[in-house]
Amino acid sequence: MTTANALIQKRPLWLLSLLMPTLPFVSYALVTASGNPLFWWLSVIYATLLIPLLDFLLGENSINPSDEVNASLVNDVFYQRIVYCYPLLQWLALGFGVWVAASALLHGWDWLAWALTFGAINGYGINAAHELGHKRGKLGQWLAKITLMPSFYGHFLVEHNRGHHVKVATPEDPASAKLGESFWRFLPRTIFGSLRSAWQLEKQKLNRQQRSVWHWRNENLQGWAGSLLILLLALGVGGWWTALWFLAQAWQAISLLEVINYIEHYGLKRQRLDNGRYEKCSPLHSWNSNTVYSNITLFQLQRHSDHHANPTRPYQLLRHFDQSPQLPSGYAAMILLAYIPALWFRVMDKRVLAHYDGDRSLANEYLKNDGYKLPDKNGIFAMTRQGMDLLRQQWQMLKG
């Protein structure tokens, strides 16, 4: 048995997925004990340097659990409880983070380190919300919503479950990156495209219920209202600098989510069938990685093909497929590569083309007019005014 295979079978190692939200407390203790402000950067060093190093040292594990093992894993509440614990630790860390940001402890670059730290915590939180949001039952859905609030990305659940999983690996999906599209071009396209998709999906749902899109049952509005409340609390506790810190960490969390989206389906495309529909999503339409450490800390998100084939499949059961395209490294290292387009294209474009035996027409390729165009500002203002009027009417009805 290899070291990687031995490690993956030890249940306590899955607790490492809860390490990220505990690191701010370690940083604070080390800074307080030593007086060295470099320890504010502990989480950043862990995410950008230590995780890729551990992926390299521990290697990969492509072995799938046997049917007998699967039967025991699916009924083991240990794995479910780990995911449920993430929101608790996340919110404890967030309260502590606001307190530190509002104090006089941070100076100069320390402020940036603290923002990046909580961007990582809440970026990992989006991943936890992703796992929770695919679970059946109200508890998982509720926990997913509150886990997304610190990142100001409450619409993720709507768009991911009802949008991305339907359109994945097609030119119409804002969360699927295209061959030749840099991350920096993809970022505005996916942010605004996903936002628009989530809004339209909720509008369609509420219209079927004969309700306004501005009704309080709009799940997007619920998530954004929670985020706004946290922002106002940060403002009240620490003033404008603390509020700015909260917005900065939220932006970092969003960018971490979207760079992972960029990696997961880069250049891959489902082909159109004779009936005009796209072929069913298969293991061929997601990039995968079997690096041991990242899979433990990310709830096996890197086994992405099986997730798209079976969205409700618990993370501990996700499988490797030999036919799935494989990344040259884990997500942590690929994130750093994605930030430098020239290096990313050099490493990944040849892999996309090799996946399609050199036939570029089969890939999801970026075209010059694919960039996202911002909506007309007058339309935005008119829609906002209409929404505020409807919200006031609902508030008056609730009061009456």
Report whether pLDDT(371) > 50.
yes
Candidates 170, 168, 155, 167; CA nearest to 205 is 155
Higher-confidence position of 120 and 368: 120
116 has a pLDDT exceeding 70: yes
How far is 356 from 270, CA to CA, in rounded Å? 12
Provide the residue ranges of all domains of the chain, joining segments of one domain with +.
3-375
Torsion angles phi and psi, residue 179, rounded to 5: -60, 125
Using one digit for the tens of pLDDT, what is the confidence trace for 251-299? 999 999 999 999 999 999 999 999 989 999 999 999 999 999 999 999 9
Q: Which has the closest alpha carbon to 91: 128, 37, 146, 171?
A: 146
In DSSP terms, 365 is beta-bridged to 179
pLDDT recorded at residue 134: 87
Tokens of 87: 């929101």
- Residue 219 contacts residue 202 (beta carbons within 8 Å): yes
Tokens standing for 283? 């293991």
Average pLDDT over residues 373-381: 54
Element (H or E) spanning 342, and its range? Answer: helix 341-355
Counted residue by residue, the chain has a size of: 400
pLDDT band at 59 (very low <50, low <70, confident <90, very high): very high
**Pick from 93, 145, 84, 82: which is nearest to 118 by CA?**
93
233 band by pLDDT with thresholds 50, 70 and 90: very high
Structure-model confidence comparison of residues 282 and 379, the more confident one: 282
Angle at alpha carbon of residue 280, lines to 277 and 283, rounded to 5°: 145
For 272, the 3-state DSSP assignment is strand
Mean pLDDT of 200-209: 95
**Per-residue confidence band for 336, with pLDDT thresholds at 50, 70 and 90:** very high
Stated as kind and residue range, the H or E segment containing 232 is: helix 219-238
Per-residue tokens: 34: 């030593």
Confidence of residue 4 (pLDDT cuts 50, 70, 90): very low
**Tokens describing residue 310:** 């079976």
Q: What is the 3-state secondary structure (H, E, C) of 26-83?
A: HHHHHHHHHCCHHHHHHHHHHHHHHHHHHHHHHCECCCCCCHHHHHHHHCCHHHHHHH
Q: How far apart are CA 193 and CA 83, in angstroms?
A: 28
pLDDT at 350 over 50: yes
Asked if residues 194 and 262 have their Cβ atoms less than 8 Å apart, the reply is: no
Q: How confident is the model at residue 3 (pLDDT cuts 50, 70, 90)?
A: very low
Q: Average pLDDT, stretch 30-55? A: 96
Cα 191 from Cα 78, distance rounded (Å):
34
Q: Which residue has the higher pLDDT, 125 or 72?
A: 125
The counts of H helices and E strands in the chain are 18, 0
Give the closest residue to 97 by CA, choosing from 150, 49, 149: 150
pLDDT for position 37: 95
> What are the tens digits of pLDDT across the range 141-193?
999 999 999 999 999 999 999 999 999 999 999 999 999 999 999 999 999 99
Kindly tell me if the per-residue pLDDT of 107 is higher than 60.
Answer: yes
Question: pLDDT above 70 covers what percent of the chain?
Answer: 90
pLDDT higher at 288 or 65: 288
Query: 332 with 146: CB under 8 angstroms?
Result: no
Q: At what angle do helices 331-338 and 240-264 cross, to 10 degrees?
A: 100
Question: 330 pLDDT exceeds 60?
Answer: yes
Reported as a pLDDT band with limits 50, 70 and 90, residue 121 is very high
| pLDDT mean across residues, the chain | 90
**335 contacts 263 by C-beta, under 8 angstroms:** yes
Q: How far apart are CA 110 and CA 38, in angstroms?
A: 8
pLDDT at 230 over 70: yes
How far is it, in rounded angstroms, from Cα 306 to Cα 310? 6
Give the C-alpha distances (Å, rounded to integers) separating 147 from 40, 216, 395: 23, 19, 26
The band of 395, judged by pLDDT with boundaries at 50, 70 and 90, is low
Specify the range with the lowest mean pLDDT, choosing from 44-48, 135-139, 318-322, 337-341: 135-139
What whole-number distance in Å separates Cα of residue 138 and Cα of residue 125? 18
